[in-house]
Amino acid sequence: MKFFGSHSFQLVGVVGLQLALVAIALTVADRVHGAERSAMHEGNVPAKLAYCEDCHGPSGQGFHGYFPIPRLAGQQTAYLKNQLEAFVEHRRTNNIMFNVAHSLSPGMISALADDFHAFVPPPLGGGARHLVPTGEKIFQNGVPEANVAACAACHGPNAQGGGEIPRLAGQLPDYVFNKLINWSRERGQIPSKPDTSAVMSPVAHSLTRPQVEAVAAYLSYLK
Amino acid sequence: MTLDKGPRRILSRLVSARAATCSVVLSFVLSGAAYPKDAEQSASTDQLQAKIAYCENCHGVAAQGFHGYYPIPRLAGQQPEYIKNQLQAFIEHRRTNNIMFNVAHVLSATLLDGLTENFQKLNPKPLTSPAPEDLIAAGKKIYEEGIEKSDVPPCAGCHGPDAKGNDQFPRLAGQLSDYIFNKLTNWSKERGQNPANPDTSTIMAPIAHSLTEQQIKAVAAYLNQLE
């Protein structure tokens, strides 16, 4: 019991208190310095980015893994955030992305989304060249006789997207094909919680397989 | 992000939309004509419902409007005569819009009747964008009083005190503010594009020209929040 009453203990207490105060001050200072600093504090962004690129390709250009893994480069940040939320809530079905997404903090998600949005690698291409003119026609004009809206109306004339509407330019053609064909099997999986994926369901259903292939081919070469 | 009732309506229409799509395509193939013959054929309910769902894909839930790449206008509560005039203008390229040209030129007259009747009855709340109170107030003043020194008549004179329009004069109440801004700013670049065939858009040309950018923003903000 001698220690607790001693000057040494009091010294330890004072020094400890000072260290705690310094730590608190530094934390407060960091919060004041903006999103990038707090993202850095919540985790190592460059390391997480490299992890994403491991599957999504250098600069998020996309990669042909066992599954076609989509291009993230140039993607709209609000769209990326919505999809990560959808994976976490199982509104969008993907086990691998569920595991990726549910450990990301909001600060980390913001930092990653900003990084990917800024990347501009050239498109990987790969769509069937002879289908590109048909794909372009469908993209710009829609298919009015089949009640298919023109993609350009929402995704923009250059397929760059905007706000919550995704960029499609330079996307892997087999990825676009898979997503459109499987739209209602993968997205909007909680009927009691309908989400923005609902707007694409009629389009995905009304397009024929050859039309989907053509649009995917067209998009694959867009910069 | 979650939505509530609208997408469920869209989804519930999907079942009839798929069947309707097949019947529409088949009827075009069998008729062998570019336009169905209206006298012999009235638009089936399925066909009409499918077409409404298609319009709403871009024009939004209950045709309230939608912020796509471009602001896509509210059609809910719109005057049928105005919609028909605009669709005709798109087809004849008097009004420039590639997407709407493609939409419009496959519509039959009877389908048009059904569509415009349907849209007129819809009454969703306005799809509002935030705007400062003083801008809305300035817009209300311009709407009701015009701008005498620029020879801009009060909008209310033709569009009505409640901006609901009449016959060929369109409803403006609840319209997307960025849509109104774009249209007024680009009026003569988009409308009346065939000088040999002048149309009703001529009335608005001098007004669109005389309004300043700030005045257009004010009117747009006011109209956007009107129910």
Name the residue range of residue B37's domain: 5-121
What ipTM was assigned to the predicted interfaces of this complex?
A: 0.79
Domain co-membership, B113 together with B139: no
Q: Residues B159, B112: one domain?
A: no
Chain A positions touching B1 (Cβ under 8 A) are 82, 85, 164, 195-196
pLDDT at A119: 98
Does the beta carbon of A189 lie under 8 angstroms from any beta carbon of chain B? no
**Whether residues B199 and B91 fall in one domain:** no
Architecture in CATH for domain A40-118: Orthogonal Bundle (1.10)
Residues B19, B86, single domain; the answer is yes
The answer to whether B99 contacts A142, with C-beta atoms less than 8 Å apart, is yes
Q: Do A149 and B57 touch (CB under 8 A)?
A: yes
Below-70 pLDDT ranges, chain A: 1-42
Among chain A residues, the shortest Cα distance to B61 is held by A199
For B58, the closest of A82, A153, A198 (CB atoms) is A153
CB–CB contact A149 B8 (8 Å): no
CATH superfamily of A129-220: Cytochrome c-like domain (1.10.760.10)
Give yes or no: residues B12 and B91 share one domain.
Answer: yes
> Is residue A193 less than 8 Å (CB to CB) from chain B?
yes
User: What pLDDT band is residue B44 in, cutting at 50, 70 and 90?
Assistant: confident
Partners of A196 on chain B (C-beta within 8 Å) are 1, 3
Whether B74 has a pLDDT exceeding 60, the answer reads yes
What CATH number should be reported for the domain holding residue B19?
A: 1.10.760.10
Q: Within this chain, do residues B117 and B191 fall inside the same structural domain, yes or no?
A: no
In a shared domain, residues B73 and B145: no
- Higher confidence at residue B18 or residue B62? B62
Q: Report if residue B85 sits inside a domain.
A: yes
How high is the pLDDT of residue A133?
98
| CB contact A16 to B (< 8 Å) | no
- Same domain? For B80 and B47 the reply is yes
Under an 8 A CB cutoff, do B1 and A194 touch?
no
Answer whether residue B25 shows pLDDT above 50.
Answer: no
pLDDT surpasses 70 at B13 = no
Looking at residue B31, what is its pLDDT?
42
Say if CB B89 and CB B149 are below 8 A apart: no
Average pLDDT for residues B63-90, to the nearest whole number?
98
Question: Which pLDDT tens digit goes with each residue over A75-124?
Answer: 999 999 999 999 999 999 999 999 999 999 999 999 999 999 999 999 99
Alpha-carbon distance of B172 to B180, in angstroms, equals 9
Q: What is the pLDDT of residue A32?
A: 47
pLDDT-derived band at B39, boundaries 50, 70, 90: very low
pLDDT at B56 exceeding the cut of 90: yes
B104 and B144 share a domain? no
- Residue A43 has a pLDDT of 81
